[in-house]
Amino acid sequence: MKSFIDVPAGSDFPIQNLPYGVFIPNGSDRARPGTAIGDWVLDLNEMEKSGLLRTSFFSGSTLNPFMAAGRSAWTMVRKTLQHILSAECPDLRDDMDLRSLALFPRDAVSMVLPAQIGDYTDFYSSREHATNVGSLFRDPDNALLPNWLHLPVGYHGRASSIVPSGTEIKRPFGQTKADNADPVYGSSRLLDFELEVGFFTGPATELGERITVENAADHIFGFVLVNDWSARDIQKWEYVPLGPFLGKNFATSISPWIVTLDALEPFRCAGPAQDPKPLPYLETKGDFSFDIDLQVAIRADQAPQEDVVCRSNFKYLYWNICQQLAHHTSGGCNINPGDLMASGTISGPEKGSFGSMLEITWRGTNPVKMSDGTERKFIADGDTVVMRGAAEKDGLRIGFGEVVGRILPAS
């Protein structure tokens, strides 16, 4: 399939992708839903008003109404957009007035959060990450807690501090406690990134209603990259007995474009073998993971180039997205359109694929040497962390773009 819009080679956003986001054109103050193709953004509200897109989802400033519409509507809109943007269709291609209203260069818009996020849950679904953390903080011979191989562990995060890519992050304050010392209050010294992928939910469920693993995909709108910023020193002192709090709630960054399951279908693959066998309500038949390459780079303040510190893959996750959502709702918890569920840190089997500085530097004992001559145990003030993701095979590339965040000094 080809588009009349020129898509540069290697672009994250060919006509086979068409991710959804919310943007504000330069010089405007109105956010509106759009889709990305090549170096352009298509205004979906203008497509509705023109009659080419026969829907009523895109007049507002979020994607929540579209998320609520469900899989049949998602598939219909995707097919319609692919037709409108195809090289053979003259409707938009030959209407220069409509093109001037509806098409914007991507470098001439600002991206904002794609949805009103009511709730946010962060899972802990990478066996390699959980094993590394358990080895660092507990017992290497018994790194996984007894429940970990039986259910997708997660915690309820802070939705109000989820921010779009490009938002600068202040180093947080909190209580910390060194060994054999009293607690103190101050700024975090061990600031970290966590490489994650999240999904937005679609149609709402009622309180007491359960989503099964068989129909979970019908409630999953699409994926974004997630940087779950973490203050390790604050986290270590406060997390017992109820889990993350100030060490996590100060900021979570997400990429602006939501990549749909339909776009990622060619990259579906098996996840890790699960042993012991999950209980029946979590047992999935078929492949429910995706072969998505992930990368994290750090650019030091004033440095001429960035340094890649991690190359991982979404397929390493032990608990898949359908199991995560099925377990989340198995007790009767309801979901709403625009809820965000993150994977937890995605680490692979080798050091180069570890998804956090905690693991990469092994709690600071093996610093990363940077190209500007400095070294990193954790993230320094002025550092910019850049996460990227893309699935690619047989000449087809479906990308996520980037999630970028720069660390500001505590104040």
**Tokens encoding 237:** 């002192």
Question: Which residue has tokens 């098409």?
Answer: 103
Q: Residue 188: which of 1, 56, 8, 377 has the closest Cα?
A: 377
- Distance between CA 289 and CA 287 in Å, rounded? 6
- Distance between CA 380 and CA 384 in Å, rounded? 9
Phi, psi (rounded to 5 degrees) for 164: -75, 160
Q: What pLDDT was estimated at residue 21? A: 98
Q: CATH 3.90.850.10 in the chain, residues? A: 120-408
Torsion angle of C-alpha atoms 70, 339, 84, 8, degrees rounded to 10: -140
| Per-residue pLDDT tens digits for 162-205 | 999 999 999 999 999 999 999 999 999 999 999 999 999 999 99
DSSP string, 54-118: --SS-SSSSSHHHHHH-HHHHHHHHHHHHHHTBTT-HHHHT-HHHHHHHEEEGGGEEEE-SS---
Question: Which residue has tokens 């579209």?
Answer: 66
| Per-residue pLDDT tens digits for 45-93 | 999 999 999 999 999 999 999 999 999 999 999 999 999 999 999 999 9
The per-residue b/e assignment along 351-379, b for 16 or more CB within 10 angstroms, e otherwise, is eebbbbbbbbbbbeeeebebeeeeebbbb
| Per-residue pLDDT tens digits for 137-169 | 889 999 999 999 999 999 999 999 999 999 999
| Per-residue pLDDT tens digits for 238-296 | 999 999 999 999 999 999 999 999 999 999 999 999 999 999 999 999 999 999 999 99
The residues carrying an active-site annotation are: 129
Torsion angle of C-alpha atoms 318, 287, 77, 64, degrees rounded to 10: -20
Say if residues 53 and 84 touch (Cβ distance below 8 Å). yes
Q: What pLDDT was estimated at residue 323? A: 98
Say if residues 271 and 286 touch (Cβ distance below 8 Å). no
**Tokens encoding 95:** 């209407």
Give the CB-side neighbour count of residue 179, counting CA atoms within 13 A. Answer: 1
Instruction: Provide the CA 356 distance to its chain's centre, in angstroms.
Output: 15
Q: Determine the number of helices (DSSP H) and then strands (DSSP E) in the chain.
A: 10, 26
Say if residues 343 and 196 touch (Cβ distance below 8 Å). yes
Q: Residue 42: which of 94, 2, 98, 115 has the closest Cα?
A: 98
Say if residues 4 and 15 touch (Cβ distance below 8 Å). no
The model carries a pTM of 0.98
Say if residues 312 and 347 touch (Cβ distance below 8 Å). yes
Give the CB-side neighbour count of residue 236, counting CA atoms within 13 A. Answer: 19
SS3 391: strand
Say if residues 375 and 344 touch (Cβ distance below 8 Å). no
Look at the chain and count its residues: 411
Q: What pLDDT was estimated at residue 387? A: 99
Residues above pLDDT 70, as percent of the chain: 100
- Distance between CA 255 and CA 300 in Å, rounded? 21
For the structural domain made of 120-408, what CATH number should be given?
A: 3.90.850.10
Q: Residue 129: which of 380, 304, 319 has the closest Cα?
A: 319
Q: What is the mean pLDDT of residues 127-131?
A: 98
SS3 269: strand
SS3 40: strand
Q: CATH 2.30.30.230 in the chain, residues? A: 20-112
SS3 386: strand
Phi, psi (rounded to 5 degrees) for 283: -80, 125
Q: What top-level class would CATH report for the domain 20-112?
A: mainly beta
Number of Cβ within 10 Å of residue 35's Cβ equals 24
Between the CA of residue 390 and those of 43, 61, 225, 317, 399, what are the distances in Å?
24, 27, 10, 16, 4
Residue type, 165: S
Pairing assessment for the beta strands 162-164 and 252-254 based on DSSP bridges: parallel
| Per-residue pLDDT tens digits for 20-33 | 999 999 999 999 99
